[in-house]
Amino acid sequence: MVSRSASVLAVLGIAALLGACVEEKPAPTPTAKTAKSASPPVPTLSSSETQDAGAQTAKQDVKDAGAAPIVDGPLIGALFLQTPVMSDMEWPKEERKPGDRTGSVRLGYIRQGSRVPVIPEPHVKSNCKEGWYELVQGGFVCGKYASLDLNHPRLKLAPHAPTPTSSLPYEYGYNVTNGTPLYRTIPSREDRMKIEPWLAPRKAKPRRDDDAVANSDDLDAGAARSASSSDPSADDGGVPWYLRDYDGGKPQVTLDDLKGEGPVARRMVKGFYLALDHDFSSNGAKWWKTTGGLIAPFERIYVNKSISEFHGVWLDTAEQAPVDPNAANANAANALDGGSSPAPKAIENMCKAGSKAQVGIILHYKAKKYSVSASKKAVTTGDAAPRHTVVRLTGESVNVNGAIYDETDEGWWMKASEGAKTKPTEPPRDLKPGEKWIDVNVTNDTLVAYEGDKAVFATAVSTGKRDDKNPDKDHKTPTGTWRIREKHIAATMDGDVASDGPYSIEDVPWIMYFNGSYALHGAFWHNNFGRKQSHGCVNLAPQDAKALFGWTEPRMPDGWHGVWSTPEKLGTRVVVHE
């Protein structure tokens, strides 16, 4: 197998940044020297973790994961979680210097089960004895990692394709306890009782008087005391970390400590998230199969149904109005006096640098709509302004008794202290006419997308948490100008954080990497947009992330799961500033 460091240097050119938002785990793409012995690419799990996972679920009544799209002509299916698509029928150089335009490069990848149009004639070469296949969309895949046989077992056992009609590509589950195992295969009942000792029925202890207990040499009593110790460094009598009591705290373990052996691929810390493929029953128990091919006990996973419905506003047409998340219930379309709303005011210079005409986002739970007197010296409180209401601000503002109020195009006024406003910087000087770019303000936690100098979309985001006094807790998002380097429909993010311990979120959605391991991506695990929340990445609400994922460059070919920018197809520029 190609070493992880070699893969990063040769294929992706990514430096893993300590303290960044994620520790990215790229698939090991073969190089020119190692193609003959290279293992099939797997994104976040080793081959040993996934080789048997799901094999015992093949008989379950599961909808075919890689159902062929309606396409005229031959298709080829991806056999592994990351089947690389190369620019030529070659593997990349062992060492590739920045800016080097010679040789084959990775264009993207196809996830196991996906099927894409192909020219079915193989081109057999020494670096791929199964033959290279040219994709109709561009690029080449090696027959070692893909198949024209659409009934191949690995295609039948693949996770389901990303859900096209949802704001999230998959369903997600929260691990509710420390030590939950992820199995490679379905364990026998006997093995499971050993691996999950909490499943054993508790024995009733005989009643004894205080003296008998005090003088007892019962070994179980000592073991019980060790298991409930709140100090993981104390003498625990060999009690595993996941059976100790941390009194509400987190165990001091690392991701390496969680690696398993035998039927267990690894264990999880409470709070880890899994991407769920489907549930099934076997050996008298119910299970979840993950999109990574592993198996989790059903009762240990809480399905996350509470997904943020917040989203920003498209500004490029007059018909697209700002979004009030509770408009139906709050009757936000009505004016303060209960009558019908006036027509929105026309606004010039919306979201331009230095303009007062910006987009506002209500952040307070108890925010109100206000009316300002004709004299601009008095304010009247009106109806509630639901949290995460998005409004256009006309640029008119007043100061009444030390409080700033901004006029909305609906006629009511937003109190500045109850929300946030976009505040973009100047466009890049070398911007081409109509070129797409993204402005991220880490002070206000806002984002504006542009085509040239025209704002087309605005929303609230969550950037990195800051702590100037404690470097271990300082996760500020770096400022600068970059281009989107690569995009993934979903990929796992995990890491060891000195202040918080390990974290792992499987198949984080709609990832757009722009600087090392810093990315724009969807966040389904919180609804704190407009406030700092992340480990350094720019968190977007799921609907916003999906929309921007489709809007940004490089574009994702249909059926692919990841795509890289190239010198010929540059990624969208991202400008991050205070």
- Write out the H or E segment, with its range, that includes residue 394: strand 390-400
Query: Is residue 166 in a domain?
Result: no
C-alpha distances (whole Å) from 166 to each of 65, 160, 162, 202, 509 are: 17, 14, 9, 43, 11
The yes-or-no verdict on residue 528 having pLDDT over 70 is yes
Residues 207 and 265 grouped into a single domain: yes
The yes-or-no verdict on residue 513 having pLDDT over 90 is yes
CB 255 within 8 A of CB 494: yes
Q: Is 59 helix (H, G, I), strand (E, B) or coil?
A: coil
Give the pairing type, strands 518-522 and 538-540.
Answer: parallel
Q: Is 105 helix (H, G, I), strand (E, B) or coil?
A: coil
Which of 3-12, 143-152, 205-214 shows the lowest per-residue confidence on average (mean pLDDT)?
Answer: 3-12
CATH code at position 559: 2.40.440.10
Query: Is residue 266 in a domain?
Result: yes
What pLDDT does residue 393 have?
A: 98
The C-alpha R_g of the chain, in whole angstroms, comes to 27
The residue to which tokens 């046989």 are assigned: 149
Cα–Cα distance measured from residue 158 to residue 161, given in angstroms and rounded to the nearest whole number: 9
Residues 330 and 472 grouped into a single domain: no
What pLDDT does residue 92 have?
A: 87
| Chain length of the chain | 578
Query: Is residue 471 in a domain?
Result: yes
Cα–Cα distance measured from residue 120 to residue 101, given in angstroms and rounded to the nearest whole number: 28
Query: Is residue 161 in a domain?
Result: no
Q: Which of 239, 270, 303 is the last residue of a domain?
A: 303
What pLDDT does residue 458 have?
A: 98
Strands across the sheet containing 454-460:
313-314, 454-460, 446-451, 436-441, 573-577, 480-483
Output phi, psi for 479, to 5 deg. -100, 150
Give residue 389's domain range: 316-349+359-421
452-508 pLDDT per residue, tens:
999 999 999 999 998 888 888 888 999 999 999 999 999 999 998 867 789 999 999
Residues 331 and 365 grouped into a single domain: yes
Residues 178 and 41 grouped into a single domain: no
The yes-or-no verdict on residue 63 having pLDDT over 70 is no
C-alpha distances (whole Å) from 493 to each of 24, 152, 345, 427 are: 6, 30, 44, 31
Query: Is residue 380 in a domain?
Result: yes
Residues 44 and 142 grouped into a single domain: yes
Q: Give the mean pLDDT of the chain.
A: 82
Query: Is residue 354 in a domain?
Result: no
The yes-or-no verdict on residue 8 having pLDDT over 90 is no
What pLDDT does residue 33 have?
A: 53
Catalytic residue among 160, 311, 521, 561: 521
What pLDDT does residue 346 have?
A: 76
Query: Is residue 95 in a domain?
Result: yes
What pLDDT does residue 222 have?
A: 32
Q: Return the higher-pLDDT residue of 69 and 260.
A: 260
Mean pLDDT of 403-420: 98
Residues 129 and 202 grouped into a single domain: no
What pLDDT does residue 203 have?
A: 66
Cα–Cα distance measured from residue 388 to residue 441, given in angstroms and rounded to the nearest whole number: 18
Catalytic residue among 160, 535, 537, 561: 537
- Bridge partners, residue 448, by sequence: 439, 458
Residues 517 and 440 grouped into a single domain: yes
For every residue of 213-267, DSSP letters joined together read: HHH---HHHHHHHHHT-S-TTS--TT--GGGS--TTS-----TGGGB--TTEEEE
What pLDDT does residue 434 have?
A: 96
Nearest to 273 by CA among 260, 292, 286, 254: 292
Q: Return the higher-pLDDT residue of 52 and 274.
A: 274
Query: Is residue 162 in a domain?
Result: no
Residues 8 and 151 grouped into a single domain: yes
The yes-or-no verdict on residue 257 having pLDDT over 70 is yes
Mean pLDDT of 112-119: 98
Residues 408 and 454 grouped into a single domain: no
296-339 pLDDT per residue, tens:
999 999 999 999 999 999 997 543 444 444 443 333 334 334 44
The yes-or-no verdict on residue 115 having pLDDT over 90 is yes
Chain-centre distance for alpha carbon 119: 33
- Can 351 be counted among the known catalytic residues? no
Percentage above 70 pLDDT, the chain: 75
| 482, burial (CB in 10 Å: exposed 0-12, middle 13-18, buried 19+) | middle
Cβ atoms within 10 Å, residue 72: 5
What pLDDT does residue 535 have?
A: 84
What pLDDT does residue 231 have?
A: 39
What pLDDT does residue 101 have?
A: 62
Give the pairing type, strands 75-78 and 146-147.
Answer: antiparallel
186-244 pLDDT per residue, tens:
999 999 999 999 998 876 655 544 444 333 333 233 333 333 333 344 445 578 999 98
The yes-or-no verdict on residue 108 having pLDDT over 50 is yes
Which of 306-310, 499-503, 529-533, 569-573 shows the lowest per-residue confidence on average (mean pLDDT)?
Answer: 499-503
pLDDT band, residue 103 (cuts 50/70/90): confident
Mean pLDDT of 538-552: 98
Mean pLDDT of 235-256: 83
Residues 479 and 511 grouped into a single domain: yes
DSSP H stretches of helix in 443-525: none
Residues 225 and 132 grouped into a single domain: no
| 36, burial (CB in 10 Å: exposed 0-12, middle 13-18, buried 19+) | exposed
Cβ atoms within 10 Å, residue 400: 16
- Can 561 be counted among the known catalytic residues? no
What pLDDT does residue 470 have?
A: 85
Give the pairing type, strands 562-564 and 106-110.
Answer: antiparallel
What pLDDT does residue 328 have?
A: 35
Q: Which of 395, 421, 447 is the last residue of a domain?
A: 421
The number of domains in the chain is: 4
Which of 170-184, 231-245, 403-417, 551-565 shows the lowest per-residue confidence on average (mean pLDDT)?
Answer: 231-245
What pLDDT does residue 473 have?
A: 83
CB-facing half-sphere around the CA of 349: CA atoms within 13 A: 12
Cα–Cα distance measured from residue 371 to residue 374, given in angstroms and rounded to the nearest whole number: 10
CB 139 within 8 A of CB 107: yes
Residues 143 and 11 grouped into a single domain: yes
Residue 534: partners with Cβ closer than 8 Å, 6 or more residues away: 21, 462, 463, 464, 465, 475, 477, 523
Mean pLDDT of 558-564: 98
